């Protein structure tokens, strides 16, 4: 785990991020000069819920699990992929993290001091607009997740998740799960045992599983069962 000021070679990647692409050069450089980049091995806890939010985190490569605990139980809330930020809301409100974060694999993470983010927000209109847009996007994602949880059974959630993955994989009829099944179960709000059975229960709708490989034999049939809804399942809207 190496800690150092951000190498300038990372600037272009970050600059392309929706969050930073519309801002002026000077405030961008202010942010970058205060930032760090770190390389983390898998399964390292980056932040712990309840801690104060000193840095905005940006996933440059790898992936990060956002999870929460209560009373000895734990659940996966979301996954952060490159190139995106996490714990933006805590940074902005200068409030404690509501979720913990751990690397899922070897990951490269940029850390931007929260106070710099707040200061540059006031100084650069393009950045302000991007922050608000990103935050609104995050909000809408959680609302969709909550609808998914409250309105659907676990089998329906799995079916719709598979449809999302299928679309994400370029509308082919075979693809690999991007999560460990154990985590997928947690994300979908069920136990690993129940996930195993849910996969079998989707067999009549043309879903075949081999390890982490998924084949959807009859997309129409699966859709008929899953009843996907853009207001729950579309990542973009």
Q: Is 193 an interacting residue with respect to DNA (CB under 7 A)?
A: yes
Q: Is 211 an interacting residue with respect to DNA (CB under 7 A)?
A: yes
Q: Is 232 within 8 Å of 160 (Cβ atoms)?
A: yes
Query: Stretches 46-54, 76-84, 178-186, 229-237: which one binds DNA (CB under 7 A)?
Result: 178-186
- Residues 110 and 100: their CA atoms lie apart, in Å, by 17
Q: Is 178 an interacting residue with respect to DNA (CB under 7 A)?
A: no
Q: Is 155 an interacting residue with respect to DNA (CB under 7 A)?
A: yes
- Residues 35 and 31: their CA atoms lie apart, in Å, by 6
Query: Stretches 82-90, 116-124, 130-138, 192-200: which one binds DNA (CB under 7 A)?
Result: 192-200
Query: Stretches 15-23, 34-42, 120-128, 196-204: which one binds a second copy (CB under 8 A)?
Result: 120-128
Instruction: Let me know if 41 is exposed, middle or buried by CB neighbors in 10 A (0-12, 13-18, 19+).
Output: exposed
Q: Which of 113, 134, 131 is nearest to 121 (CA)?
A: 131
Cα–Cα distances in Å, from 220 out to 6, 37, 170, 223, 224?
48, 45, 16, 5, 6
In the complex, the residues that contact a second copy under the rule CB under 8 A are 49-50, 68-71, 73-75, 77, 88-90, 92-93, 95-96, 98-99, 121-122, 125, 128-129, 131-133, 135-140, 142-147, 149-152, 189, 227, 229, 231-232, 237
């Amino acid at each position: 785990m190496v800690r150092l000021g951000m190498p300038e070679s990372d600037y272009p990647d970050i600059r392309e991020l929706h969050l930073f692409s519309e801002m002026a050069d000077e405030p961008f450089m202010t942010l970058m000069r205060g930032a760090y980049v770190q390389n983390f091995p898998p399964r390292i806890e980056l932040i712990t819920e309840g801690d104060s939010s000193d840095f905005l985190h940006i996933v440059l490569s790898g992936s990060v699990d956002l999870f929460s605990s209560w009373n000895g139980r734990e659940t996966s809330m979301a996954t952060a992929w490159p190139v995106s930020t996490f714990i933006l809301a805590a940074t902005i409100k200068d409030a404690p993290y509501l979720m913990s974060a751990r690397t899922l694999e070897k990951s490269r993470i940029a850390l931007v001091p929260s106070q710099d983010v707040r200061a540059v927000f006031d100084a650069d209109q393009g950045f302000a607009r991007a922050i608000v847009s990103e935050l609104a996007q995050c909000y809408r994602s959680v609302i969709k997740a909550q609808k998914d949880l409250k309105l659907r059974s676990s089998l329906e959630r799995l079916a719709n998740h598979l449809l999302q993955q299928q679309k994400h994989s370029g509308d082919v009829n075979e693809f690999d799960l991007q999560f460990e099944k154990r985590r997928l179960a947690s994300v979908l709000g069920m136990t690993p045992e129940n996930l195993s059975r849910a996969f079998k229960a989707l067999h009549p709708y043309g879903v075949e599983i081999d390890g982490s490989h998924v084949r959807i034999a009859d997309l129409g049939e699966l859709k008929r069962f899953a009843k996907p809804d853009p207001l729950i399942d579309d990542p973009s809207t």
